[in-house]
């Protein structure tokens, strides 16, 4: 066993890639991750079977031989030391998306830590304050690194486990395959993509498989943890024959409710935990995804015999998960901030500041900055605002562009309180919010933890193209 590891390391150093496998999707019986755990960022080959382009071997970058990377599973209240070892040829980092943690563990090179150079290691000390479904991914040239597979899932178990028979993770990604049937490397960084919807793939996978059968037991109640790790695509998921209950969004419990029209919508970076019962008539049901590139079958739910004696949950009321600790929003005395999202194709952005200087659209485009926040095209030298620790903030986000965006705040969760001027009823605590073109949302949060916290569009090409800033909490 250990011999193998040594061999593959040596092989890697010699430039021969290891073969990357995909992660197990059924995590019902998966053990907790040890408190000390190493993730090795490394190149490899990922096999995807029986796609329209034939069997594909994608040249990917993954963590410890896997895409998605190893599942990190802990219990609420645990903490862990995760060592990132960089075996790539460029600098990297890991951001723990959705976790509330000390700022110096947030994984943003240049802002909260320095680059993890090739060959070096970085120790992340992580607390798991909230139960739920989270994920981790590179925060270094993510438009390249994340697209190649540097991401994985974090499950933080509730102290009191919810009543389900099975617990399944579905990680959704899209890959761009070129006309030769190869991973489209040349189009990474393509400015047309950056100024439009971002890099959208033409092959959608679930846990790195093309149209897998997701096995569930007849009569079982199943928790599905849906994670959208695509660079920029939005997915609307429909589960034929089933009417999913949403029980958590971005990791945080919500009062169980049926998905609107049976469709669960996930912007890049977003998660949803849903409950379905295996009591439909037939044994095979498609999961259909509508995305920005059209509609396709994502996977199938396939009924098998129940694995354990049924708990008799199917068809009963879905109960709410225990709430995570959340601060109290003092909306009446809240500090107000406004963020105007600007630019992109047909956005009419004439000029914006870059490196402190006003620049024309042409000049910005030549520097790959085609989006802006409040007239600034992604300068990271200054924060958007300086906040006092503990204060409540209402952040108004105006999407003045012709494209949808998924805005993500690091280190804190917010409540969406208004959309297009109307008060929002279901206020869940999220870390990412989806805005359609020309929409305005107001989100409220408490500036909980001191530090430099990024605020950016999670459509990675938009982020890299200028849709990024940060909040300084003192
Ligand atoms: Cu999941 Cu700054 O990102
Ligand atoms: Cu965007």
CA–centroid distance, 316 to ligand 2, in Å, is: 40
The DSSP line for 189-245 is T-HHHHHTT----SEEEETTBSS-EEEEETT-EEEEEEEE--SS--EEEEETT--PE
Across 218-363, the runs of DSSP E, i.e. the strands, are: 221-228, 235-239, 245-249, 252-258, 263-266, 271-277, 284-291, 294-304, 335-343, 351-354, 357-360
Distance 93 CA to ligand 1 centre (A): 11
H/E element holding 405? strand 405-409
Q: Is the CB of 139 under 6 A from ligand 1?
A: yes
For residue 208 the two structure tokens come to 């790195």
Cβ 277 vs Cβ 244: under 8 Å: no
Q: Within the chain, which residues score under 50 in pLDDT? A: 1-16
The residue whose C-alpha atom lies closest to atom 3 belonging to ligand 1 is: 97
Residue with CA at minimum distance from ligand 1 atom 1: 97
Q: Which helix (H) or strand (E) holds 414?
A: strand 414-419
**CB of 271 closer than 6 angstroms to any ligand 1 atom:** no
Q: Which residues contact 338 (CB under 8 A, 6 or more apart)?
A: 374, 395, 396, 398
97 in ligand 1 pocket by Cβ < 6 Å? Answer: yes
| C-alpha 140 – ligand 1 centre gap (Å) | 10
State in Å: Cα 11 to ligand 1 middle.
32
Q: State the pLDDT at residue 245.
A: 98
C-alpha 182/C-alpha 280 separation (Å) is: 39
Please name the residues in contact with 180: beta carbons below 8 A apart, sequence gap of 6 or more: none
CA of 467 to the centre of ligand 2 (A): 7
Ligand nearest to the CA of 99: 1
Integer Cα distance of 463 and 64 in angstroms: 27
> Residue 405 CA: which ligand is closest?
2
**pTM score > 0.85 for this model?**
yes
Q: Is the CB of 456 under 6 A from ligand 1?
A: yes
Cα 301 to middle of ligand 1, angstroms: 30
Atom of ligand 1 nearest to the CA of 137: 1
Q: What's CA 365's distance to the chain center, in Å? A: 27
| CA gap 325, 283 in Å, rounded | 40
Q: For every residue of 57-106, which 3-state class applies, written as one string? A: EEEEEEECCECCEEEEEEECCCEEEEEEEECCCCCECCEEECCCCCHHHC
For residue 107, what are the contacts with CB-CB under 8 A and spacing of at least 6? 93, 94, 95, 96, 113, 124, 139
The Cα–Cα gap between 379 and 235 comes to: 30
pLDDT of residue 364: 96
pLDDT reported for residue 342: 98
Neighbours of 243 (CB within 10 A): 12
Q: Quick check: CB of 410 below 6 Å from ligand 1?
A: yes
SS3 (DSSP) at 436 = coil
d(CA 440, CA 419): 6
Q: Closest-lying ligand to the alpha carbon of 193?
A: 2
Whether 462 lines ligand 1, by a CB cut-off of 6 Å, is no
Q: Is the CB of 100 under 6 A from ligand 1?
A: no
Which ligand has an atom closest to residue 230 CA?
1
CA of 209 to the centre of ligand 2 (A): 27
Ligand sitting nearest the alpha carbon of 459: 2
Angstrom distance (rounded) from CA 17 to CA 30: 27
Nearest-ligand number for the alpha carbon of 343: 2
Backbone phi, then psi, for 416, in 5-degree steps?
-80, 120
Closest CA to 296 of 218, 375, 210: 210
Backbone region of residue 321 per phi and psi (left: phi > 0; alpha: psi in -120 to 50; beta: other values): beta
CA of 250 to the centre of ligand 2 (A): 18
Check if 109 has its Cβ closer than 6 Å to any atom of ligand 1.
Answer: no
pLDDT of residue 426: 82
For ligand 2, the distance from its centroid to the CA atom of residue 109, given in whole angstroms, is: 21
For ligand 2, the distance from its centroid to the CA atom of residue 468, given in whole angstroms, is 10
Atom of ligand 1 nearest to the CA of 108: 2
pLDDT, position 193 = 96
Give the residue from 89, 42, 33 showing the smallest Cα distance to 64. Answer: 42
What is the pLDDT, as a whole number, of residue 23? 56
Burial string for 400-428 (b: 16+ CB within 10 Å, else e) reads bbebbbbbbbbbbbbbbbebeeeeeeeeb
Question: Which tokens in the block code for residue 73?
Answer: 């599973």
Strand partners, 452: 472
- On average, the pLDDT of the chain sits at 94
DSSP state of 410: S
Regarding the beta carbon of 285 and ligand 1, being less than 6 Å apart is answered no
Give residue 22's pLDDT. Answer: 64
Nearby residues of 121 by Cβ (< 8 Å), 6 or more positions away:
83, 84, 85, 86
Report the C-alpha gap between 364 and 370 in whole angstroms.
6
Closest approach atom of ligand 1 to CA 139 = 2
């Amino acid at each position: 066993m250990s011999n193998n590891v040594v061999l593959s390391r040596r092989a890697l150093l010699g430039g021969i890639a290891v073969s990357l496998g995909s992660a197990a999707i059924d995590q019902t019986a998966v053990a907790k991750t040890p408190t000390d755990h190493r993730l090795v960022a490394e190149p490899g080959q990922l096999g995807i079977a029986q796609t329209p382009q034939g069997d594909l071997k994608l040249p990917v970058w993954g963590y410890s031989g896997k895409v998605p990377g190893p599942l990190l599973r802990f219990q609420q209240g645990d903490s862990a030391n995760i060592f990132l070892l960089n075996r790539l040829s460029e600098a990297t980092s890991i951001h723990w998306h959705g976790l509330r943690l000390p700022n110096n563990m947030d994984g943003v090179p240049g802002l909260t830590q320095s680059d993890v150079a090739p060959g070096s290691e970085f120790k992340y000390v992580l607390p798991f304050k909230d139960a739920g479904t989270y994920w981790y991914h590179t925060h270094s040239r993510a438009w390249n690194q994340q697209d190649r597979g540097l991401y994985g899932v974090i499950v933080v178990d509730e102290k009191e486990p919810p009543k389900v028979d099975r617990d399944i993770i579905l990680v959704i990604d899209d890959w761009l395959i070129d006309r030769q049937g190869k991973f489209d490397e040349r189009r990474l960084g393509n400015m047309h993509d950056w100024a439009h919807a971002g890099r959208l793939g033409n092959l959608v996978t679930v846990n790195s498989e093309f149209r897998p059968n997701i096995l569930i037991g007849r009569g079982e109640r199943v928790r599905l943890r849906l994670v959208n790790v695509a660079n920029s695509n939005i997915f609307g998921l429909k589960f034929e024959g089933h009417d999913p209950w949403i029980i958590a969004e971005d990791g945080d419990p919500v009062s169980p409710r049926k998905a609107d029209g049976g469709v669960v919508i996930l912007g890049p970076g977003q998660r949803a935990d849903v409950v379905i019962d295996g009591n439909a008539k037939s044994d095979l049901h498609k999961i259909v995804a509508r995305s920005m590139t059209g509609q396709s079958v994502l996977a199938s739910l396939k009924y098998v015999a129940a694995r354990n004696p049924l708990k008799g949950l199917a068809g009963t009321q879905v109960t709410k998960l225990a709430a995570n600790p959340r601060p109290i929003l003092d909306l009446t005395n809240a500090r107000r901030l406004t963020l105007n999202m600007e630019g992109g194709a047909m956005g009419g952005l004439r000029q914006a500041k870059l490196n402190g200087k006003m620049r024309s659209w042409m000049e910005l485009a030549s520097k790959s900055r085609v989006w802006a926040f409040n007239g600034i095209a992604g300068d990271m030298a200054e924060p958007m605002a300086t906040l006092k620790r503990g204060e409540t903030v209402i952040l108004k986000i105006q999407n003045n562009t012709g494209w949808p965006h998924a805005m993500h705040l690091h280190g804190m969760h917010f409540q969406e309180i208004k959309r297009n001027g109307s008060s929002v009823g279901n206020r869940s605590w999220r870390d990412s919010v989806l805005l359609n073109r020309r929409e305005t949302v107001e989100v409220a949060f408490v500036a909980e933890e001191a530090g430099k916290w990024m605020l950016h569009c999670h459509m990675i090409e938009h982020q890299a193209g200028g849709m990024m800033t940060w909040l300084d909490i003192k």
